[in-house]
Amino acid sequence: MPTKKKVIVTGFEPFGGDKVNSSWEAVKELKRLGLGNSVDLHVQEIPVEYRAVKDLLPSLWKQHQPHLVVHVGVSGIATTVTLEQLGNNLGYMRPDNVGYSPECGCCVVGGPETIHSVLDMEVVRQRVKESGLGVAVSTSQDAGRYLCDYSYYTSLYAGQRRCGFVHVPPLEEPYSSKELGLALQAVVTEMLGLLAKAEGTEK
């Protein structure tokens, strides 16, 4: 029997005065939907805190040794499900949920300015679009220089770029948690397909 591929998908806790975070609601929905019998799906809620992210994400990679990690965050200006291509190391000045921001303003001292995912997000977007899901999907080159971007860069650095980041809109603007969960299911499935294709080419 083939070994199941371990996939970790994270969402964020509420921040500011919000009662819910649509990213975590979407991830919980994905957990209910699953990714098929060949995937061992692990989900994790992430604090909106720089220091917690810096400790937690590398430990998730080390403990679980996942095939793929996908982080999900909410964007108040997004109207589509947005696939981020890269993480940025610098520019983290906005305080987190406990009023802290990194003294250096960066994720990893001495790290590269940007790290790109091994996944081509434009290919993922196109494949999801062709599936007829009914949820608009776009790509982006700027994850926002806050906890979303910070998490993405931290994970890309820790996991040899086998990582993706998905921004979702706030709930009901315009999609429900179920629709966002279905979109995540389609996106992560396509990401796994791209990794499998790359691994087949490398053998």
Catalytic residue numbers read: 84, 148, 167
Contact 88, 143 (CB under 8 A): yes
CA distance linking residue 142 with residue 165, whole number of Å: 11
Q: What single DSSP character describes residue 202?
A: H
Residue appearing with tokens 């250096």: 104
Chain centre distance of CA 150 = 11
Residues 6+ apart with CB under 8 A from 10: 27, 43, 44, 45, 46, 69, 70, 71, 72, 151
| Nearest in space to 12 (alpha carbons), one of 98, 54, 73, 68 | 73
Query: Two tokens at 71?
Result: 């982080």
Contact 11, 43 (CB under 8 A): yes
Contact 116, 173 (CB under 8 A): no
Residue appearing with tokens 């990794």: 195
